[in-house]
Amino acid sequence: MPDRYRAKLVNSLSGFKSANLVGTADRHGQTNLAIFSSVIHLGSSPALIGLISRPDSVERHTLRNILDTGQYTINQIHSGIYLDAHQTSARYEKSASEFTQTSLTPDFMPDCTAPFVKESKVKYGLKLKEVIDITSNNTQFVIGEITQIICDNSAITTDGYLDIEALNTITVSGLDSYHTTNRLSRLQYAKPNQKPSVININGEPIENDFL
Amino acid sequence: MPDRYRAKLVNSLSGFKSANLVGTADRHGQTNLAIFSSVIHLGSSPALIGLISRPDSVERHTLRNILDTGQYTINQIHSGIYLDAHQTSARYEKSASEFTQTSLTPDFMPDCTAPFVKESKVKYGLKLKEVIDITSNNTQFVIGEITQIICDNSAITTDGYLDIEALNTITVSGLDSYHTTNRLSRLQYAKPNQKPSVININGEPIENDFL
């Protein structure tokens, strides 16, 4: 397969991906913002998040800043900012902040030198915990621990589930396709010898004889 | 925060997740099938896919079989099988195959001892490449190389992008919420000093003055 064709096909195989902007700053306060589709949940206690970085890609400013400062932010992308979010993947010079090149706005919080994205509705600060070299293809797996969460409290349901669909968080397929979502349902914790059971947005059982 | 509340909240923070069934078999041919929301693209050349395994979770049969045989399959979940896919997360005994407990059907292909899911529309076989211990929380990052791909050719567009939305592939948020998707658009490879530009499903430029 030709390289580009192969890249597009293989990038579609893992399924839908998360869509996030990673905010960093260097030691002099020069900000950087980059879109990542590889942000992944690792564990909730401690609250750990992973992402894949390619040393030779446009994301190298992000990795360098994370290694230099130990701090970064992750900001969910919603449908209102996805065009600007995509634009951060252009290969800007290190001296050009993506915040200047797009209409996204840096926002600073106490105890974090890295910029948040003001327009994002779910965002959190992280401190670097571990960087793992993946020898199979020379990528790096960057693991951080969440230090602060900023989101609209009204989107947190009574059992702790955050309704990111209601906040218009988007998802990515392949290299460049962006999607909104429609909930099929939440499902009750599965048990042997019980049929799957629908729960409501707050995690409570509801009538679901139709299953 | 209470443990379960915290788990639900933190699981929502990374954004939408992929939804896949991992098929394995032990040395005696006993099959296993488990839902994973942590399958992630690592690279296209070589074609590498990662997933996170917790040694003490219901997924331990999967990890044990992968380590024992070096082979596994990944099968995308579509809206027609998501209830059965969720049910595979119940804590069945090792002797009980999830293929027997649900209406999903094992399907075998040449050169792979692990079962595919017949009902899945995008699936691939992998050979184990690397297992990395994540010391931060005792999870393991399992990396495999794709050896064969089985999917409906009509879903592969002319530039290699696989239209997984057209195949009704679903996405997960939090621990238990399942979603279909609606494409906003595909976007052209971003360049500095050019506005984001919409492309069609085949990756070709289209009129988009409305941006």
pLDDT one-digit tens code per residue, A49-82: 999 998 665 557 999 999 999 999 999 999 999 9
Checking if the pLDDT of B57 tops 60, the result is no
- What CATH number should be reported for the domain holding residue A117? 2.30.110.10
pLDDT tops 80 at residue B208: no
B128 in the same domain as B66: yes
How far A42 CA lies from chain B's nearest CA (Å)?
7
Are residues A109 and A8 both part of a single domain?
yes
Confidence (pLDDT) at A95: 85
Looking at the structure, tell me whether residues A10 and A43 fall in a common domain: yes
Are B69 and B44 in a shared domain? yes
Q: Which of A5-14, B1-10, B42-51, B201-210 has the lowest mean pLDDT?
A: B201-210
A104 shares its domain with A75: yes
pLDDT of residue B211: 53
Report the pLDDT averaged over residues B161-185: 98
What local confidence, expressed as pLDDT, does residue B54 receive? 85
pLDDT in tens, chain A (211 residues): 899 999 999 999 999 999 999 999 999 999 999 999 999 999 999 999 999 998 665 557 999 999 999 999 999 999 999 999 999 999 988 888 899 999 999 999 999 999 999 999 999 999 999 999 999 999 999 999 999 999 988 999 999 999 999 999 999 999 999 999 999 999 999 999 899 999 999 999 987 555 5
**Which of A177, A185, A204 to mutate against chain B (most B CBs within 10 Å)?**
A177
pLDDT band per the 50, 70, 90 thresholds, residue B94: confident
**Closest by Cβ to B83, choosing from A13, A82, A211:** A211
Instruction: State whether A168 and A85 are in the same domain.
Output: yes
The nearest CA of chain B is from the CA of A54 a distance in Å of: 9
Distance from CA of A27 to the nearest CA of B (A): 24
My answer on whether B73 and B9 are in the same domain is: yes
Q: Which domain holds residue B200?
A: 185-211
DSSP summary character for residue B153: G
Query: Are the beta carbons of A161 and B92 separated by less than 8 Å?
Result: no
Domain co-membership, A192 together with A93: no
d(CA A152, CA B9): 13
My answer on whether omega of the bond before A46 falls inside 30° of 0, hence cis, is yes
Tokens in use for A9?
């096909």
Task: Flag whether pLDDT at B96 surpasses 90.
Answer: no
Q: What's the pLDDT score for residue B69?
A: 97
User: What average pLDDT score do residues B81-103 get?
Assistant: 92
Tell me: pLDDT of B71 over 70: yes
Q: What is the pLDDT of residues B149-162, one digit of tens each?
A: 999 889 999 999 99
Helix (H), strand (E), coil (C) string for chain A: CCHHHHHHHHHHHCCCEECEEEEEECCCCCEEEEEECCCEEEEECCEEEEEEECCCCCCHHHHHHHHHHCEEEEEECECCCHHHHHHCCCCCCCCCCHHHHCCCCEECCCCCCCCEECCCCEEEEEEEEEEEEECCCCEEEEEEEEEEEEECHHHECCCCCECCCCCCECEEECCCEEEEEEEEEEECCCCCCCCCCEECCCCCECCCCCC
| Model confidence pLDDT, tens digit, residues B102-150 | 999 999 999 999 999 999 999 999 999 999 999 999 999 999 999 999 9
Which residues in chain B are closer than 8 Å to A175, comparing Cβ atoms? 161
Domain match, B128 and B148 both: yes
Q: Which of B18, B169, B185 sits opposite A178 (nearest CB)?
A: B185
**Rounded Cα gap, residues B8 and B17, in angstroms:** 14
B142 & B207 share domain? no
Residue % of chain B over a pLDDT of 70: 96
* Count of domains for chain B: 2
Write the residue in A10, A177, A186 that is nearest to B177 by C-beta.
Answer: A186
Q: Is it the case that residue B13 has pLDDT exceeding 60?
A: yes
Task: Give the mean model confidence (pLDDT) for residues B15-23.
Answer: 98
The verdict on A42 and A93 lying in the same domain is yes
A48/B82 Cβ within 8 A: no
Most B CBs within 10 A among A179, A200, A204, hence the mutation to make, goes to: A179
What is the pLDDT, as a whole number, of residue B174?
97
Structure token pair of residue B187? 């976007």
Reading the block at residue B64, the tokens are 């044990």
Cis status of the peptide bond prior to A55, with omega within 30 of 0:
no
CA distance B66 to B61: 9
CA B35 – CA B22 distance, rounded (Å): 6
Indicate whether A37 and A131 sit together in one domain: yes
